[in-house]
Amino acid sequence: MRSSKNPLPELTTCLSPALLHTHDVCNSIVVIIDVLRATSTIAAAIKNGAKSVIPVDSIADCIKLGNQMEVITAGERDGKIAEGLTYGNTPFQYTEEFIKGKTLVLTTTNGTKLLHIALAENAKSIITGSFPNLSAVCEYVVLQKQNVVLACAAWKDKVNIEDTLFAGAIINRIKEHFFINCDSSQIAESLYNQASEDVFTFMEMKNASHFHRLINFGLENDIRFCLTEDIANVLVIYKDGRLVKGSSPRPSPILFTEGEGKGEDGSE
Ligand code: MLT
């Protein structure tokens, strides 16, 4: 806790949604982390001009909102397009042509679920983070000078490698600006230091579970996008029920045009 002894804001890391209640989210910026793929896809959609992303907890809520509002609905369960929805959770779906000026209602297995847990725990504020917007996240939390909780979406409450690595990447960059007395943060940074040369190969060698699940679905391009630093370097902040573009410290070019990358249905 910040005190005269520790003038710096505090940073902690939560490796599983099941542990979020043990963190001081009411007095912290909560960074929702779901590298494969929710928070990477959200960064891509916002970077490509989506007006907002509405994260919902259930497929039923997603479909209901789709019937009530002029929005694009999308969802994923266990890495596949969710039943009853047309679009899924691949970043390559949300090109500028497809998403600019539109609102996306998104539900995913872990990422949007964790965001709703953070809301229920009265998080002071919420942003989303992944390798594609690493710099925007780091610059924002340093500038805010507030306590931070790096919240990993994991996989059905089980700790995963990719979210832990991203937490480690953030810590590695900004640790001198925070008081860190948290073993999960130490674990995250030391894992990242082992992997930082080549995160893709590290995850392959470590048999990361969701990594291989997506590979088996033919989604290697998605993984490579989700592990690429600053490819969608935009700040994404939660405001009034929606994820919207925050004031990004550094502008970067529009991402990619129609057709680049491979869709979840394997179409080129
Ligand atoms: C999740 O919420 O677990 C992920 O985003 C899953 C995925 O997209 O594959």
Which amino acid makes up residue 224? R
What pLDDT is attached to residue 249? 54
Name the residue with the closest Cα to ligand 1, atom 9. Answer: 79
Residues of the chain with pLDDT under 50: 251-268
Ligand 1 atom closest to residue 110's alpha carbon, by position in its atom list:
2
List, chain by chain if needed, residues with CB within 6 Å of any ligand 1 atom.
34, 36-38, 76, 79, 89, 108-111, 153
Ligand 1 atom closest to residue 214's alpha carbon, by position in its atom list:
9
What does the alpha-carbon distance between residue 107 and residue 109 come to, in Å, rounded to a whole number?
Answer: 7
What pLDDT is attached to residue 53? 98
What does the alpha-carbon distance between residue 200 and residue 202 come to, in Å, rounded to a whole number?
Answer: 5
What pLDDT is attached to residue 247? 80
The CA 34 to ligand 1 mean position distance, Å, reads 7
Tokens 């490698």 sit on residue: 161
What pLDDT is attached to residue 252? 44
Output b/e per residue, 30-60; b: 16+ Cβ within 10 A: bbbbbbbbbbbbbbbbbbbbbbbbbbbbebe
Ligand 1 atom closest to residue 111's alpha carbon, by position in its atom list:
2
Q: Is this prediction's pTM over 0.85?
A: yes
Q: Which residues contact 26 (CB under 8 A, 6 or more apart)?
A: 121, 122, 123, 124
Ligand 1 atom closest to residue 219's alpha carbon, by position in its atom list:
9
Name the residue with the closest Cα to ligand 1, atom 8. Answer: 37
The CA 76 to ligand 1 mean position distance, Å, reads 7
